[in-house]
Amino acid sequence: MKLHASDQFPALTLVMRGRAKYKIVRTVRDAAEILIIDWPSDDGEEYVTAVRACLRALHNEIPPESVRAALIRAADEERISYISLVA
């Protein structure tokens, strides 16, 4: 597994419920931590797909950008707003 800068993708800010309202996601590791620790539900189809994408990216099977796309779909499924900046 690799946990370094090459796991980065364009930043995504999730607007979560609770104390830590804004979560900035820049890496596969960030995405995995938010999905496992902070996600409000663990039973959605897109949620499971996003978790699997994190694992696959950590094993160099898919690019980090695929994790970002899966996280956006999971956020849509859970009705979590997000801010995405594209340069």
Is pLDDT of 1 > 50?
Answer: no
CA angle 80, 81, 84 (to 5 degrees): 130
Q: What is the pLDDT of residue 65?
A: 95
Distance CA 72, CA 62 (A): 16
Residues making up the chain, counted from first to last: 87
Q: What is the pLDDT of residue 85?
A: 75
**Every domain of the chain and the residues it spans:** 5-84
What pTM was computed for the model?
Answer: 0.88
> Which pairing describes strands 8-15 and 81-84: parallel, antiparallel, or unpaired?
antiparallel
H-type alpha helices, the chain: 28-33, 45-58, 64-78
CA angle 58, 17, 71 (to 5 degrees): 25
Is pLDDT of 70 > 80?
Answer: yes
pLDDT tens digits for 16-68? Answer: 987 778 999 999 999 999 999 999 998 899 999 999 999 999 999 999 999 99
Q: What is the pLDDT of residue 54?
A: 97
